[in-house]
Amino acid sequence: MTIIDAPRPARLAAPPIDRIAALGDTASTGAGIASTETLPAEALGDGFDGVHGRIRDWLRSWDQVHLPAFEAVRDSFPAEERRSSLRAAPTRADGAVRVTASLYDPPTRSGAPYAWSRNWVSVVELPKTVEAGRLHYRFSVGSRLVLDGQAETGLVSTSLNFGLVADAATASPFDAPGFSTPLCRPLVAVQCREDADADAQHAFEGSIDVEAGDQPAMAFVIGTDVVFRDGWARIHEGSSTWIGMAGRGGSGTIEVRFTPAPMLALFG
């Protein structure tokens, strides 16, 4: 609703005819026809430019939230291996998981393809909200795979699962609706062949309603899967999956902003 839509007030009192008639009457005031006196502009009150500027700055402002380093969770590999050939470098607080692998399967072996599957988790708890409103967020997920090989089957895929809850005290982001289904599969079934180099990036944004005192929490789970048979393959350094700001900046940071309930009521 705007001021134009608001209910009309009662009619004003009749205009003061005598005072209006006297306005600009040089004969009665003695001001003279050449008078240049005008009302100072300051008497009109502050203009809208200041409000417009503050709103514009607010619309451009997002808070940056840094992701904790990803922690390894699943590490599934063939029973024939004592340790997974799908290796990961020690993670840092930069939102990325880096993997390498050197695989070989002799042509004399029979049976199903070998499979490796690993994932890593990072959980972010935001500060408690001081009033009701809506939390908006945005981030990017990207993957790059630098591969090599010659094999009957040599496929690599990456994924991201994401969960968000309004209050970590009453719910877990791992139980959030849709968490068990990947939000994104940046690279799917990329073939391990000579000098293969694939990359992809996707941006996401969304929001969730919060109440005063809530502490929102987000969970990110990065996954890497490999299926391989009969031949050799390598996943080279430079292969990684990462979380970062949407459309710009480096990895390791997401963006959030809060919209108070009164502003939501005003703008819908």
Residue 16: predicted pLDDT: 85
Stretch 82-93: mean pLDDT, rounded? 95
Q: In the chain, what's the furthest Cα-to-Cα distance? A: 117
Average pLDDT over residues 105-125: 95
Whether 3 has a pLDDT exceeding 60, the answer reads no
Q: Which residues contact 203 (CB under 8 A, 6 or more apart)?
A: 138, 139, 140, 246, 247
The model's pLDDT over 197-208, given as tens digits with 9 standing for 90+, comes to: 999 999 999 999
pLDDT tops 60 at residue 4: no
Identify any residues that bridge with 257 across adjacent strands, giving them in sequence order: 136
pLDDT, one tens digit per residue, over 10-64 is: 677 888 888 877 777 666 656 666 777 778 888 888 887 887 788 788 777 899 9
What would the mean pLDDT of 90-99 be, rounded to a whole number? 96
Strand 96-105 vs strand 190-191: parallel, antiparallel, or unpaired? unpaired
Each residue's pLDDT tens digit, 178-237: 999 999 999 999 999 999 999 999 999 999 999 999 999 999 999 999 999 999 999 999
User: Percentage of residues in the chain with pLDDT exceeding 70?
Assistant: 92
Contacts of 109-114 with C-beta under 8 Å, sequence gap 24+, read 109/230, 112/229, 113/153, 113/227, 113/228, 113/229, 114/78, 114/80, 114/226, 114/227, 114/228, 114/229
For residues 6 and 9, what is the distance between their CA atoms, to the nearest angstrom? 9
Q: Give residue 38's pLDDT.
A: 79
Mean pLDDT rounded to a whole number for the chain: 90
